[in-house]
Amino acid sequence: MSKKILVLPGDGIGPEITAEAVKVLDACRAAGLDAELDEGLVGGAGYDAEGHPLPESTLAKAKAADAILLGAVGGPKWDTLEDLSKRPEKGLLGLRKNLNLFANLRPALLYPQLAEASTLKPEVVSGLDIMIVRELTGGIYFGQPRGIETRNGERVGYNTYVYSESEIERIGRVAFEMAQKRGGKLCSVDKANVLEVTILWREVMNRLAPEYPDVELSHMYVDNAAMQLVRAPKQFDVVVTGNMFGDILSDAAAMLTGSIGMLPSASLNERQQGMYEPCHGSAPDIAGQGLANPLATILSVAMMLRYSLGESALAERIERAVGQVLDAGLRTADIAYPGTRQVSTVEMGDAVVAAFANA
């Protein structure tokens, strides 16, 4: 049966980068992928057109899709919206929550061709290959109660950092299984020296460990993990952590690879339905100028083929095509350095499609 893919371009550079990723999807369809594409509005684009960052029609299409490709949401135009529930980011969070996309996979892989683009020394990052498994539908992002209210004559803001054992266990299992398929090492990141919620987190991870004897489990406090990521990142294989720590650490890990413009992500639920998006944001400052790097979105298509569409061979072909384009010295502005050829967003997308034909 034909698979359904929903494309949600979103805001800022979102439309430009998803357009290039759709070209790659079309090339996959020409190569035999049986899939139908549909489009929807999300984020600021949803708010402007329908008064809500996650319009009903978009949510309905998303629920019916096998996979969703999302560009990026947000921008200064909507940052001053008083009603927080109408902010573009709520569109993204609503999709994650409504589709129960609890497992966020964020690989930080250094392409050898980009070792020079990293702000860290090449010897510190060359060969880097980390998979961050971030819990995505719980923790402080969604915990209740939350709000801003007046207490004793002054305003107080509060959020709740909460995880149930079952939430920890299901993300833990995803991470252990990921470690089994990779280098057999799993580092669980918490703040168990201060926060009860992560004392429980650590307990549950330890309880699961004997079921995965081929995985070596370790624990690290989040502050130390942030330091280790920039000091000696190659010590990590799979990292598992909660929603907020994962948000922060995955940005840091992204920069190790030269540019956040290279990093794809997958957000999966229990039935492998997934939303695929670049790790970076909507970059409104460079929108519409052909400067954005479409590779993270294109590599997100590869993850989609692998995790939701059962098409690993096509996924590998896309990844090889990206490698070849980098080998040829093509670079968007974010990863360009002397000796390489700077190309636009569209030129980069076209080059990947051309390489895909023979990859």
CB under 5 to 8 A by kind: which of ligand IPM, Mg ion, none does 89 bind? ligand IPM
Q: Which is nearer to ligand IPM, 70 or 115 (CB)?
A: 70
- C-alpha–C-alpha distance, residues 264 and 297, integer Å: 6
* Cα(181)–Cα(137) distance, integer angstroms: 24
Q: CB under 5 to 8 A by kind: which of Mg ion, ligand IPM, none does 66 bind? A: none
| Max Cα–Cα distance, the chain, nearest Å | 68
CA distance 58 to 54: 6
For the purposes of burial, counting CB atoms within 10 Å of the CB of 342, is it exposed (0-12), middle (13-18) or buried (19 or more)? middle
Instruction: Spell out the residues 6+ positions from residue 97 whose beta carbon is closer than 8 angstroms to its own.
Output: 137, 142
Three-state DSSP at 261 gives helix
148, amino acid identity: I
CB nearer ligand IPM, residue 93 or residue 189:
93
The type of residue at 124 is V
* 179 contacts 237 by C-beta, under 8 angstroms: yes
Query: Residue 11, interface with ligand IPM (CB under 6 A)?
Result: no
247 binds Mg ion (CB under 5 A): yes
Give whichever of 212 and 281 is closer to ligand IPM, judged by the CB atom: 281
In angstroms, the CA 324 to CA 295 distance is 12
Does residue 69 bind ligand IPM (CB under 6 A)?
A: no
Helix axes 56-64, 88-98, angle to 10 degrees: 40
Contact partner, 311, from Mg ion, ligand IPM, none, Cβ < 5-8 Å per class: none
- Footprint of ligand IPM on 234-253 (CB under 6 A): 247
| The entry of ligand IPM, Mg ion, none that residue 92 binds, CB within 5 to 8 Å by partner kind | ligand IPM
Name the residues annotated as catalytic: 141, 191, 223, 247, 251
Partner interacting with residue 99 (select from ligand IPM, Mg ion, none; CB below 5-8 Å by kind): none
Give the count of residues interacting with Mg ion (CB under 5 A).
1
Tell which one of 92, 108, 204, 326 touches ligand IPM (CB under 6 A).
Answer: 92
Q: In the bound complex, which residue of the shown chain has the CB atom lying closest to ligand IPM?
A: 89
CB of 40 to ligand IPM, least distance (A): 18
Closest approach, Cβ 353 to ligand IPM, in A, equals 27
Neighbours of 34 (CB within 10 A): 10
What is the x/- site pattern for ligand IPM, positions 72-91, by CB under 6 A?
-----------------x--
C-alpha 154/C-alpha 42 separation (Å) is 35
State the residues that interact with ligand IPM by CB under 6 A: 89, 92-93, 247
State the residues that interact with Mg ion by CB under 5 A: 247
